[in-house]
Amino acid sequence: MSKHLFGIVITPQGIAANNRGETEGNITTLQKLLWKNEVYTTVSAEAIRFAIRWNWQLKNGEKSVNRVWVDEESHHKWNDADFKQWSEFMDDDILGFMNAKAAKEEGNEAEDNSGKDGKGKKKEKIRGTCDKRRARLEVTRAISMTPFAGDITFNAASVGATPSASSTGGKDPVPYGTEIHATRYQYGFAMTPEELFEKKRALNVIDAISTLSRVAGNQARFLFDFSPESIIFRWTDDFSPRMLYGFDIKDNNITIPEIAKKVSAGDIDAKELVIGGAIADTEEVKDLKNKGAKVFGGIKEASTEISKIVKSDLGIK
């Protein structure tokens, strides 16, 4: 039976802003959704995946990934745009791809009257092609831990700083506003390492998530630390994560009540859990440790431990 790796992450407290390059009037907005009957801010799974791929590019070099981000020019370049050697690149193997191509010529079932008998014949229908691979690493949207209160800062670009945005060609300052949210974010992920072309690439996933940065808002106006403040891994035969969005806040403290309940109910075996970070000092986690969970005060210690377990169970050298 295949082993599955699930995990949830909660970031440190920070101030999120400029989460996307869209505006309403002159207000740079955050993405939002209705969550628990209130408005929360959110960061897309695509932004998290982008940061994971960039992490691999920076740590392992441009030849390790197919889609290479050229930061100075703000665009991507490809090592293999046709995905003929997709198995050589960790991003294609782990994050998947889709390469859809239209038919080279239009084709339909209309009659072709070029036949000698004059009755014509039907053309063969010509279709496009699609080379694709489903992502082996699945990532949820990140959701803020607190509702959005609607905070906005108002600013002004200095004279001459942005002439294209000025009605006077840069002779006057340009006012603008930015939605900001002081909060933490949580998100989850899932992966079955044995579905990868190279199982050892699961270790690259663990490392990237444990050291993630530059998620969304990658302009220079703000910095939000998206590395985990606390992280919970689950290594299991179970097909279901059963713990996505498992973090909660009570009296300004991070808690995991639903996970604790599921362990008590037997839906999650505490021995499957590896927990690291600030949450290690909470009573809930101390109780899970007594039930068999592996608990560490640091993120790096926890990621090292789960990597050892994955390597041992899958025979990775």
Instruction: Determine the pLDDT at residue 155.
Output: 77
| Surface-to-core class of residue 306, CB atoms within 10 Å of its CB (0-12 exposed, 13-18 middle, 19+ buried) | buried
Mean pLDDT (whole number) for 190-199: 97
Instruction: Determine the pLDDT at residue 80.
Output: 94
Give pLDDT tens digits for 136-181: 999 999 999 999 999 998 877 777 666 665 566 556 777 778 889 9
Instruction: Determine the pLDDT at residue 313.
Output: 97
What residue has token string 């199982």? 199
pTM, to two decimals: 0.86
What six digits make up the tokens of 208? 């990237």
Instruction: Determine the pLDDT at residue 218.
Output: 46
Q: Tell me the H-state helices in the chain.
A: 45-60, 90-95, 202-210, 257-265, 283-290, 299-314
State yes or no: pLDDT of 265 exceeds 70: yes
State yes or no: pLDDT of 263 exceeds 50: yes
Mean pLDDT (whole number) for 268-296: 98
Name which of 199, 209, 201 is nearest 8 in CA terms: 209
Q: Where are the domains of the chain?
A: 4-99+132-160+181-314
Instruction: Determine the pLDDT at residue 153.
Output: 86
Mean pLDDT (whole number) for 17-30: 69
